[in-house]
Amino acid sequence: MNLSEELENASWRKATRSGENGGNCLEVAPLSGGRVGIRDTEAPDQTPYVVRAAVWDAFIDGAKKGEFDF
């Protein structure tokens, strides 16, 4: 399966509390080859970002530590 097909058939998920922020959410999907797809819930037709799982894990770790807080 090529990447486009994989993204179309991916199991996208978003945070369970995503409804609390007016729909401004990201969705993620695990992909083959240790990759993660990331897309905006308000623009699901746009091409998602695809990153290696290690990049996603580093982002999540930084978010939990508050590194991206404004």
Q: How do strand 26-31 and strand 49-52 relate by DSSP bridges? A: unpaired
Structural domain boundaries of the chain? 3-64
pLDDT digits (tens, 9 = 90+) for 17-39: 666 666 678 899 999 999 999 99
Mean residue pLDDT of the chain comes to 89
Alpha helices in 1-70 (DSSP H): 3-8, 53-64
CA dihedral 43, 44, 49, 54 (to 10 degrees): 120
- Separation between Cα atoms, residue 53 and residue 16, nearest integer Å: 21
Question: Are 40 and 24 a contacting pair, CB within 8 Å?
Answer: no
Distance CA 65, CA 68 (A): 8
Has this prediction a pTM greater than 0.85?
Answer: no
